[in-house]
Structure 1
């Protein structure tokens, strides 16, 4: 009787390459790819709502650095034992290249920075938040590929067919270096690839958010809060599966508690607020004044309305011109 042998998912042999003295980190490349994809989709989505695409670029300029700072702060606070205490080096808290960015902290501080920017511009935040929300969760999914290269965010040991093999990595001196070293081929453990579970969940929720937004014409921040609820729901259960190092409170990981609290808040806000979509004039009055009406046509094209409806919009444009 022959036994069926199924190969596990192999980890990459390394997560860092060197171009001379310059390190090329797969984790950073994955995050950058996610940002580029999110920007490309957000530009179209915000324009379809009647917003000026330049506002998306402005938001990215303030949100990306704020997100990096917020993500690092969240990581350092929730995993403070790694950096503070007897025998620890607190300066390592600033070594972002060694890994450690909390998505929740990145979204919170990034959102606050964009809120301040939109307040300065005297524009409503909700339409922009609704436009970018699905792209944020897609970018998070793409970014999770970086955890694959770093051999992190994994679950308990398992023998399921899709188990992830964690390799022993060493640097040029032969010392153990899980982030910057190369694989020796030795398998340390075969574990649940929780990074992959979150990646799949995030991509699936991206399509759900796009569908719900188009089907129900959501607005007033509803898409954003639906994003928060969907992301934290999946994150809650995935955190229960993880076995990598983390700070615990009452037997549960900090991220488990945070995910549960944010999920409840998001659901309550989503259920209580208005959900009708803003008009283009509400989104950006100056951009949608006479002479800027092509934004309306763009919205019609994006929603895939009938040719008759689209022709009506185009007629309005000609009359205003």
Structure 2
């Protein structure tokens, strides 16, 4: 069932949409074959996003005094769990696509055809980060500070996979940047969300990609300008993404479960936004209680062994708070004396 706003948009623009010239042509294929191997562009877009996020996170983490290679180590479980969580959310929230009469349940495993829910990917991916952080005695709040701006960057890359799959597009439109959609997929099946007689639609993949890029820039600026310790920068990312996603969901016309005129993802965005806001305010009153450790317990940080077991070191806040010093190319403001500061902190408190 289509929500009222989507219906109105379609009605207002439908007549002209078919006559407009598409500024964004539909891709002719969504994969390329290399011998017996088929590479799906959807997967390549996600892979590109992961690589960009890991590379940038490594630079931010190292600028904060952390060990090189830490982000690479935590990326493996984070990505694996993130993919599992993202797929589970998609399959559960859109179960009718796989388990309704006439559908093939085995397609629930065909991740290359699209279908990853960010609402499931981020929590399970964070679980992978927490697991590595706990093993090494690292601060989750510090890790979240380094990683926060890089996640929307990865999403900006990943959303282009929807373009190659011609999926998750918006209502018909005659705007100059309209996206051309073909009525059938590569297997001859009707394309989900396609409206007969309409060929041009809102490129919601592009809207979300641009929103995520802008959000990444905002997070870098906020991390420099304001005190974003205690995981507050990550909470700001969650809130910013939810705002954009709520609007973009209104434009989409692909089949989805909806209630009282709102798609399920609209409700999810509101609930997640409120949860992130509550955490942002809660953490803001407890900034000095968060661990600031960026090197493993007992590790030689290059100056001395970590032996001080006194929690709540008075200088700990500086390791995560923005400073007035120089910045690395990744946008991180390194604290003064990161290695020495980490050595002064006591056993990490997981937050």
TM-score tier (shorter) = 0.7 to 0.9
Kindly indicate whether residue 97 of structure 2 is the aligned counterpart of residue 72 of structure 1.
no
Which residue among 169, 181, 200 is the counterpart of 1:190?
200
Figure out how many residues of one structure are paired with residues of the other and give that number: 295
1:255 counterpart residue number:
265
2:60 counterpart residue number:
45
Runs (5+) with no aligned partner, structure 2: 1-19, 307-318, 342-351
Alpha carbons 2:155, 2:212 under 8 Å: kept: yes
RMSD over aligned CA atoms reads 3.2
Which residue among 298, 303, 325 is the counterpart of 1:290?
303
- Worse-matched range after superposition: 272-281 or 243-252: 272-281
Q: Distance in 1 between matches of 2:103 and 2:189?
A: 19
In terms of fraction of residues, the more helix-rich structure is: 1
What TM-score does the superposition give when structure 1 sets the normalisation length?
0.82
Alpha carbons 2:141, 2:292 under 8 Å: kept: no
Secondary structure at the aligned position of 1:167 is classed as coil
1:111 counterpart residue number:
126
1:57 counterpart residue number:
72
Q: Residue 6 of structure 1: CA displacement?
A: 5.6
1:28 counterpart residue number:
43
Q: Distance in 2 between matches of 1:225 and 1:194?
A: 24
Which residue among 70, 88, 91 is the counterpart of 2:106?
91
Q: Distance in 1 between matches of 2:97 and 2:121?
A: 20
Which residue among 203, 221, 235 is the counterpart of 1:211?
221
- Worse-matched range after superposition: 84-93 or 45-54: 84-93
1:242 counterpart residue number:
252
1:182 counterpart residue number:
none
Q: Distance in 2 between matches of 1:205 and 1:28?
A: 23
Alpha carbons 2:139, 2:291 under 8 Å: kept: no
Kindly indicate whether residue 135 of structure 2 is the aligned counterpart of residue 125 of structure 1.
no
How has the CA–CA distance of structure 1 residues 104 and 140 changed in structure 2, closer, same or farther, with 3 Å as cutoff? same
- Worse-matched range after superposition: 118-127 or 60-69: 118-127
- Worse-matched range after superposition: 38-47 or 6-15: 6-15
Alpha carbons 1:52, 1:287 under 8 Å: kept: no
